[in-house]
Structure 1
């Protein structure tokens, strides 16, 4: 891993001196925040990027800077409609990419929602689990043949995985009382476990997968939070600060840096099957600390296999 990279490293610092001409990437969630910055940085360094978004009109407006970077250099950018809360939309988007046939050097599953009021996807799944995990699970597995040998998959998890493990018996909160942060934490744990099992299944082709904690960033991700959910987050941050752990919000370029690092310049052997933060492999910790570290249950290989099987059953497809 590159020396000097850390919590304040930006995307352009990660890619300083790196030419991505000839490389092709897919980034989900390019209508705001981290997704837009991730796409911009890759395109600015010569890459071809496909950006997926639910609302194409919003994404067109949000990615003006990405298009400008493409026009001023050798990179390119195009949009793909993808609603992760609808399996029909996921299948249609994957089918379009498969029919196109062009390969990807890495897929970055960046899109997500956070601490939403209780809701259901178009297919009846708990909204956060269905959108953040199952939508990406189906999409990424369907397009996995398009990832080049030696390519990478990067899935965005979160320090909020500390809030909750995934309940494999009730992932959709059908009998468990709903709590927005518990549901978000469970979905982010699922994102980490998905990367663990994807890495195991695809490393024979040299493809490595990792999950990423981008850090605390003020983006649109929290737009659905109720006052109660916001108060819970504020209390958690205050508790970290009071215990001496510290907490500092990142800029968007700092928040996107670990995703870009993992997808492009990190040593694949070091990051494969791991949870990453601040442009390095995170420390495993036994106690709750939303600010740093990964809980053992988010890297548990046996639970990752069980979640894979559960997810296949829920989406009705096997991979």
Structure 2
């Protein structure tokens, strides 16, 4: 029986008493914020962690504490180069992992971008859908043969999925005007739908997938927001909270923000979280109200929508996955 955790639980509290010796975990975005803390917490409990990052020099500097935690806790840590905004880089990284041949128990798709000015990836995709969803879609599917039976995939989504459903006919804002928050919402909904469909396809051999919302945390993810934009966003969140009878928004610390990732990855019951969206170290309820607040919109868990997004994603990347 798992313990009860909540919004203020930290990675170390969630993992207290958990021994991960012999477990191997891939964490993307291991050069800052949640990715570094996720890697540190897992390595400190004995896991062998592979951190993926676009800028290896930056990641080396940022993960000195991860290596220390691994040494103390009996785990291991290594870095690989991965630029999710380039499918050539994604395929190169996945090819190296496949050639290496060592299995993974967990993949945590943590890396992402939030509300940047309009831009395109190396393959011409809108930056957020290309990085947050399509890059991970190709990476995870290519290395899926390395996931051990009983393994898990955790995709990092956000309450921001409430900004927008995916737009399958216009994934790259070619027909509609670009809005950075709509783009973020589409990509975060895609992260949930990917977990739903990946879980359906792989649960037969015990591999489960879940999406998680880490909460609001001050990290490099918010580098594209101005102070005025941040103030306006928090005001809109508090308005939605007030209408739902919820307390005002509070930022989490980075260890609190990474807690739901490690909880869903190695602590929570697999059957409970498989194909679901989690927040504050529990499975979220379906909430169809307006505004950015807790819960998950029904469209993000829709199985037909998840299957359609999978097919559209295969079409866009030019690669099919069984």
TM over 0.5: yes
Unaligned 5+ runs, structure 1? none
Pairing partner for 1:306 from 305, 308, 313: 308
> Per-residue deviation at 1:230?
3.4
Q: Residues of 1 paired with 2:256 and 2:240: CA distance?
A: 21
Distance in 1 (CA, whole Å) between partners of 2:206 and 2:287 is 29
Tell me, in whole angstroms, the C-alpha distance in 1 between the residues paired with 2:229 and 2:313: 27
Quick check: 2:240–2:290 contact (8 Å CA) kept in 1? no
The within-5 A match list for 1:174-253 is 174-226=174-226, 229-230=229-230, 232-243=232-243, 244-246=245-247, 247-253=249-255
Checking the alignment, whether the CA contact within 8 Å between 1:215 and 1:291 is kept in structure 2 is no
- 1:254-269 equivalences under 5 Å are 254-269=256-271
Specify the alignment match of 1:12 in structure 2: 12
Alignment match of 2:317 (pick from 306, 315, 318)? 315
Q: Judge conservation of contact 1:115–1:229 (CA < 8 Å) in 2.
A: no
Are the counterparts in 2 of residues 51 and 77 from structure 1 also a CA contact under 8 Å? yes
**What TM-score results when the alignment is normalised by the length of structure 2?**
0.96
Query: Normalising to structure 1: TM-score of the pair?
Result: 0.97
1:156 paired residue number: 156
- Partner SS for 1:256: helix
Deviations 1:255-293 (A, max 9, x none): 000100111011000100000001110010011242310
Structure-2 residue corresponding to 1:285: 287
Could you tell me which runs of 5 or more consecutive residues in structure 2 were left unpaired when the two chains were aligned.
Answer: none
Give 2:47's aligned residue: 47
Q: CA RMSD in A?
A: 1.2
Counterpart CA distance in 2 for 1:98 and 1:105 is 14
Q: Secondary structure at the match of 1:150?
A: strand
Q: 1:287-317 CA distances to partner (integer Å, 9 max, x unpaired)?
A: 1242310000000000000000000000000
Distance 1:129 1:227 in 2: 25
